[in-house]
Structure formats: C-alpha cells, structure tokens
Amino acid sequence: MLQKDAIIIGAGFAGLYMLHRLRGLGMDVQVFEAGDGVGGTWYWNRYPGARCDVPSLEYSYSFSEDLQREWAWSERYASQPEILRYLDHVADRFDLRRDIAFRTRVTSAAFDDGWTVETSQGERVTARYLIAAVGCLASAPRVPDLPMFHGATHHTGRWPHEGVDLAGKRVAVIGTGSSGIQAIPEIAQVAEHVTVFQRTANFSVPARNGPMDPAYEKWFKDNHGEIRAGMRATHSGLMTTPNPDSALSAGPEARLSAFEERWERGGIAFLGSFSDLLVSEEANTAAADFVRGKIRATVTESRVAEKLTPYDHPIGSKRICVDTGYYATFNRPNVRLADLRTAPLEEFTRYGVRTTAGEHPVDVIVFATGFDALTGPLLNIDIRGKGGLPLRDKWAAGPKTYLGLMSAGFPNLFTITGPGSPSVLSNMIVSIEQHVDWIAGCLAHLDGRTIDADPAAEDAWGAHVAEVAGYTLFPRADSWYMGANVPGKPRVFLPYVGGVGLYRARCEEVAATGYAGFTI
C-alpha cells in the first residue's frame, strides 16, 4: 500500500495551495481530485454566465508576489473560464500536477493511528495526515430524479465541458439563487423561450462588471502587501470598507444616498452601506425596501415585478446575488416567470414541467437548485475516526468542529474552510489562505505527532458560533447557510459569522499558546 506523509482531498484553490505549502515543509503529499483537471468549484460550474461575485484582484492568491505581478485579470469580476485558466496557470507555475491523481474520488477514509483512504480507482493509500480541501458546495450538487423527461437535463454545477447549445430551444430554469440569476440572462439571449421556475424570490444587486481598469490594477499590484494585509483584518476579507454608521441613525436622505451610491458602485458591497443591516430588522427593511423599489422600477409588468420581489427573508440573510441584467431579463418577450408559490411544481412529465397551473412543454431543463452546502462535501465521503466512529453519526444533529478546522475524535484530519469557520461568508481565498497557513504551521509544529480537538473546546466553539449567529438576522432565512435547502438536514447555522479578522486572531492565539483546545 502506498504511504505518504499527507493526503489532500481536492485540487481547487484550497488543495493547490495546501500542496504547495506542504511541499515547502518537505512532506511527501498525494492529492486526489475527482475532476480531470484542477479548479474545484471553477472546474465544475461551467454554466452560461458563471462568474465570481468577488472582484478578481481580491479573488486571487496573495501568497506569491511574483504570481500576483505576472497574472492580469481582464475584467472587474472574473468569469469561470478565466478563473480556471488562472488555476491551471498556478498548477503549472508551481509544478503541482505531478502530485495530483485526477479522475479519482476519495470514497472512504478511516483513522487508525494514521489515515487510510480508498478511492474510486480502487487504490488504498495511507498517510499520517489527511486534509479535506473539498470546498463548501461544488462537490455536492443536488439533482432531483427525473423518471421520463424526453429532453436534456443539466445541473449548473455539473455543466458539460463542451457547453450546451440552447439556440432555438425551449428551456426551463429551476432555481433563482446565485447560479440561476447569473445563468438566466445569458440563456435568455440564445434560447427560443425560457421559463423561470421560482420558489423563493431573491435579492440581487447589479455587478457593474466591466473591463479591468489598468490604472487600478497597477495601483493594486504596487500596493499589494498593504492592501492584502488590510483585507485579512476585515470582517469579510474584501477590500471594500463597510460604512461604520448605523442606518437607523442616518436621516432618510442620507440613507437613500448611501444605498444609491453602493447600488451604482455594484456588487456585494451593497450590504456594507451601513453597519447594522444584518443585525437590525429596521435597518435591514430600509435596505430591502430600496432594492424592492429598484425591482419595481426595472420590471415593466407590475404583476411580474411583484412576484420577483422578495418579502419573506431579510436582505443578505440568504446569499445576496450579484447579477448582470437579471430583473430586466423578465421584460423580454421570450422569458416567462412561473411562480411555484402560487402554482407548486407537481411533476416532470415526458414533455416538460407540470405545476398545479398546467404543463410547461420544454426541450431542456436546467437545475440551478443548489448544493448540500458545507457538510455535504465532507459527509459524501465515508469518514471514520477513532473507534470507527462515522463522521455522519457524529454530525447527525449538525456539524461539530473546533474552529472549523478539526472535529474531536478524528485526529490528524483538517478541514479547510470547514463548517464553523467564516468560509462562505467571506472572501473564500482569504479564508483558504488563512486555513492553509495555519494548518501548515500546525504540521510543522507537530513534526509527526498526532493532534486532536478537545471535546470541551469543540462544544465551546460550537456554542460561540451559534451565539454570534443568534445576534444577526441570518437564522431568519431558510437558506443553505442554515441547511434549510436539504430536506431532513439539521437546521444549524453552519458558517462562523464573527468575521475573518477576529477569527484569524483567535486561530493565531490558539497556535501561539501551544494549540490550546487541542491535544497533541
């Protein structure tokens, strides 16, 4: 049986950088990757319009000054193909591919002193340390069963590499989260007809994407060190500075102008218009009303505008979407909105989609229905810790982790951006680099010894994660942050809402005090 010092699962942003760091420690590492290329989420999500909602310069590695200097992004927000090219470049530049086994899914991992993993290729490999760089979403798409539909079906997170020719086709898109909201305007431009099946109306803000401004790019690169240090200390890991003022203390005019200014600037920074949008219901309502007004002003048919307007959750409590022409797309003659709240989905028939209002004949069904987020990618692997305990059993009532980095009883297993860490509430690259650096520092410190989280420290961290979430409006929404999108999944707020700056300080303090809360 092949023996390694460490095994990494996944070759996306997290796995690639982890491999690079562990090589720097002189470790012999094996990476397993289910796809036949690097990229993780950017390998799988190839649907039309797939684009990052974090500005491209900020959504890139900071660990190498040279890498930063030599790579040029073409747009303010990078498209999926460009991000994938970037990660291919990183893999080549740091000669990472020789330690990655592609088309190889880790099916199980069992601890007995070290870890033994089994793969879809029938291999068994052992290593002292196991690092799950499985991402938060992409490895666990949720696809319903379709018994007899005549046409093609595609999940946005498993889009065919060769693309899908939708010209002249009648297309159903199911789901209006970030993926649907990005894909629908693009699909509407080529398809003969699009029917959008909406269960929950969502808040979306304009991206204001455009070509990269060379002067801005130069400024960013020239001031790279300072800018990156600043980003690491913020709440979100983004460069943008949230307005520290309260929306409630601002007068109506000042409030409106702050919203208007951020709306015009574009992007998720809209939620930083004021400091209290995610903690005060009244402040949140002001922001939500502003966006509702924008939807009404954009969508010409008032009945459609009303259906597209969200009322059932605070703005930002579900992942806010960032779009290019989403609401305006419903003014096109070839786009129709089917509201599943008034006419619920009954079944997929041979010729299309039937709701209680009737059948919608279509040629292609696009599922933009999301993922079993945060826990799914880990629990899809049969992971067994000390005494053969399955992680699925330990997490039956929700994930239990210490700092989102380890789970007690699963020694030497590290999770990058695991549940209980800022992950999806932050700029993922900032969080990934922080976790990778922390894990590398920990492994250097361990020097081959075994580490496990203390159950008491884990319980205290879990209580803290829940307590902080409880101060916010996040738990009010039926979101994938809460596990609410997967039937039967425990309703637990999964990411840590305390912010990357505070979280980093906490992780550093733990390391500096000899890994308090862990047993070595």
Shortest CB 73 distance to ligand NA7, Å: 19
CA 474 centroid distance within chain:
16
Shortest CB 131 distance to ligand NA7, Å: 22
Residue 385 per-residue DSSP state: -
CA 101 centroid distance within chain:
24
| Closest CB to ligand NA7 among residues 174, 287 | 174
| Closest CB to ligand NA7 among residues 317, 369 | 369
| Closest CB to ligand NA7 among residues 323, 458 | 323
Shortest CB 376 distance to ligand NA7, Å: 11
| Closest CB to ligand NA7 among residues 258, 295 | 295
Instruction: Give the span between the Cα atoms of 45 and 412, in whole angstroms.
Output: 31
Tokens of 231: 């980003």
Residue 12 per-residue DSSP state: S
Instruction: Give the span between the Cα atoms of 146 and 27, in whole angstroms.
Output: 46
Can you give the C-alpha Rg of the chain in angstroms? 23
- Measured CA to CA in angstroms, residue 77 lies from 55, 56, 213, 242, 248 at distances of 5, 5, 12, 19, 32
Shortest CB 367 distance to ligand NA7, Å: 8
| Closest CB to ligand NA7 among residues 177, 404 | 177
Report the interface residues with ligand NA7, using CB under 6 A. Answer: 137, 156, 174-180, 199-200, 319, 340, 345, 368-370, 424, 480, 485
| Closest CB to ligand NA7 among residues 24, 81 | 81
Q: What is the amino acid identity at position 97?
A: R
Residues 6+ apart with CB under 8 A from 452: 386, 406, 408, 409, 410, 411, 412, 518, 519
**Nearest residue to ligand NA7, by Cβ distance, number only:** 177
Shortest CB 115 distance to ligand NA7, Å: 29
| Closest CB to ligand NA7 among residues 314, 370 | 370
| Closest CB to ligand NA7 among residues 157, 411 | 157
Shortest CB 136 distance to ligand NA7, Å: 8
Shortest CB 157 distance to ligand NA7, Å: 6
| Closest CB to ligand NA7 among residues 25, 345 | 345
Give the residue among 401, 444, 440 at the shortest CA–CA distance from 421: 401
| Closest CB to ligand NA7 among residues 194, 368 | 368
Burial-class residue 486 by CB neighbours within 10 Å (0-12, 13-18, 19+): middle
Main-chain phi, psi angles of 129, to 5 degrees: -120, 145
- Measured CA to CA in angstroms, residue 208 lies from 41, 241, 262, 325, 440 at distances of 23, 18, 11, 10, 38
Pairing mode, strands 106-112 and 114-119: antiparallel
Shortest CB 398 distance to ligand NA7, Å: 18
Alpha helices in 234-280 (DSSP H): 252-265
Q: Tokens 């809460």 correspond to what residue?
A: 482
Shortest CB 373 distance to ligand NA7, Å: 7
Shortest CB 114 distance to ligand NA7, Å: 34
Shortest CB 100 distance to ligand NA7, Å: 24
Shortest CB 197 distance to ligand NA7, Å: 6
- Measured CA to CA in angstroms, residue 348 lies from 146, 158, 172 at distances of 6, 20, 11
171 has which bridge partners?
A: 194, 364
| Closest CB to ligand NA7 among residues 326, 410 | 326
| DSSP per position, 155-217 | EGGG--TT----TT-EEEEE--SHHHHHHHHHHHHHSSEEEEEESS---EEE----BPPHHHH
Shortest CB 42 distance to ligand NA7, Å: 11
Give the residue among 175, 138, 176 at the shortest CA–CA distance from 373: 138
Instruction: Give the span between the Cα atoms of 395 and 373, in whole angstroms.
Output: 14
Instruction: Give the span between the Cα atoms of 179 and 45, in whole angstroms.
Output: 9
